[in-house]
Chain A
Amino acid sequence: AQRVTQPEKLLSVFKGAPVELKCNYSYSGSPELFWYVQYSRQRLQLLLRHISRESIKGFTADLNKGETSFHLKKPFAQEEDSAMYYCALSGGGSYIPTFGRGTSLIVHP
């Protein structure tokens, strides 16, 4: 079975502070990991995927297979980063992502 755990329901930081949203997963094979973001009153959208190894809006995420983690990081948070962030996993030939419960990020001015 595959599972995604986001231990923090809420993460509150000040503008300019570093941000790390934690994601741990459970999966026996080689998963694909993703981060999705949902801004207030907007649709859920893909932020980044581990296979792309890209930085989107200053966010990066590295897959750590040893620790089964895929934490999302940004060195300097901005107020516009305030949103709900979901970590997701797909694997085993299934391309339906399994989502974590999400972390609400609030960036204070």
Chain B
Amino acid sequence: DSGVTQTPKHLITATGQRVTLRCSPRSGDLSVYWYQQSLDQGLQFLIQYYNGEERAKGNILERFSAQQFPDLHSELNLSSLELGDSALYFCASSVGQRGTEAFFGQGTRLTVV
């Protein structure tokens, strides 16, 4: 197991709702990354936090937001959900700020109905 823990593993919700995905990084890792994996878009980088601060931003919609807490866990908030938001959301973590050295969690599968 990589040590990156994501909860919940599965989530089914209705359009217009709001959900929160949670990620606990590996012990000692300061960076957390969020990715969205969908059938049509592939694996897309959303956002990175390092030691509580936003470090890099990718293709993250305004309806989505994230934060990293003092204990370094992170949450990804998705609001006003649409059918197209259905995807696998991955969290990854690394000691430093190199996303290329990040370890991935097993993902949260979000289904919007």
Query: In whole Å, how far is A61's beta carbon from the nearest beta carbon of chain B?
Result: 15
> A56 to chain B: closest CB distance in Å?
16
A31-53 interface code vs B (CB 8 A; 1 in, 0 out):
01010000001111110010000
Q: In the bound complex, do residue B104 and residue A44 qualify as a contact, i.e. CB atoms below 8 Å apart?
A: yes
Q: Is B28 an interface residue (CB 8 A)?
A: no
Distance, CA A41 to CA B4, complexed state (A): 15
> Which of chain B's residues have a CB closer than 8 A to the CB of A1?
none
Q: A44-B104, A45-B104 are known contacts. Are A101 and B42 too (CB-CB below 8 A)?
A: yes
Closest to A86 in B: B43
The CA of A49 and the CA of B98, in the complex, are separated in Å by 14
A60-90: contact bitstring with B at CB < 8 Å (1 yes, 0 no)? Answer: 0000000000000000000000000010101
B107 within 8 A of A: yes
Q: Is the CB of B98 within 8 A of A95?
A: yes
Task: Known contacts A43-B2, A90-B99, A102-B43; decide if A96 and B106 are in contact (CB<8 Å).
Answer: no
A95-B99 contact given A44-B90, A100-B42, A101-B42, CB 8 Å threshold: yes
B97 / chain A contacts, CB cutoff of 8 Å? 95
B45 touches A98 (CB 8 A): yes
Is B25 at the interface (CB under 8 A from chain A)? no
In the bound complex, CA of A86 to CA of B43 (Å): 9
B 42-59 contacts with A by CB, 8 A: 42-45, 48, 56, 58
For B92, the chain A residues whose CB sits under 8 A away are 44
**Could you name 14 residue pairs across A and B whose Cβ atoms are closer than 8 Å?**
A41-B106, A42-B106, A43-B104, A43-B106, A46-B100, A86-B42, A88-B100, A90-B100, A95-B99, A95-B101, A96-B33, A99-B42, A100-B42, A101-B42
Q: Point out residues on B near A: beta carbons under 8 Å.
A: 2, 4, 33, 41-45, 48, 56, 58, 90, 92, 97-101, 103-107
